[in-house]
């Protein structure tokens, strides 16, 4: 979707609309197959990893957010928030304080804690008590074992 890496000259390249076409066609197909209430998408219009940025990330993100509205999908998850649409989720290594700040300042409706939640099965309780967190193990993220890395992290002791 980003103009710094999409150099196509067919219907999937060039204009913003064309560059977003493929992603929207996928969303449409998945919504038709399983229902929009089960579909979410994660976008990162502001990310510029390995020179894969966009000359106008605000326009890209806003265009996609508006285009997604017609599908009434479950959620749109933006990695770096710069605009809002419906329920706005953010992610990207937030800790308790940063997450609270994002909500308090109106930058997001919800904060996603993927790795922290995986490593801390009772993360909301830990956040409420400002208790220490288990460190997640990157080596076991996306591990094929159904237990290791997914259900082997300790819960917070009930005495804490």
The position carrying tokens 């806003």 is 62
Domain boundaries along the sequence of the chain: 16-112, 113-159
Note the pLDDT tens digit of each residue in 95-137.
999 999 999 998 888 999 988 888 998 999 999 999 999 998 8
> Do you know the residue count of the chain?
160
Indicate the DSSP class of residue 45: T
Cβ–Cβ under 8 Å, residues 110 and 89: yes
Note the pTM of the prediction, 2 decimals.
0.53
Average pLDDT over residues 89-98: 89
Give residue-wise pLDDT tens across range 13-49: 999 999 999 999 999 999 999 999 999 999 988 887 7
- 31 phi and psi angles, rounded to 5 deg: -60, -40
């Amino acid at each position: 979707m980003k103009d710094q890496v999409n150099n196509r000259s067919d219907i999937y390249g060039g204009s913003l609309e064309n560059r977003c076409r493929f992603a929207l066609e996928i969303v449409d197909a998945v919504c038709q197959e399983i229902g929009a209430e089960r579909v979410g998408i994660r976008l990162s219009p502001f990310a510029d990893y390995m020179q894969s940025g966009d000359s106008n990330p605000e326009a890209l993100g806003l265009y996609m957010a508006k285009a997604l509205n017609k599908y009434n999908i479950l959620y749109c998850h933006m990695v770096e928030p710069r605009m809002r649409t419906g329920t706005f989720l953010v992610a990207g290594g937030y800790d308790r304080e940063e997450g609270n700040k994002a909500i308090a300042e109106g930058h997001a409706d919800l904060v996603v804690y993927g790795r922290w939640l995986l490593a801390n099965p009772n993360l909301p309780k830990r956040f409420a008590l400002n208790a220490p967190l288990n460190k997640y193990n990157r080596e076991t993220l996306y591990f094929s074992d159904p237990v290791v890395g997914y259900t082997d992290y300790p819960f917070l002791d009930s005495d804490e």
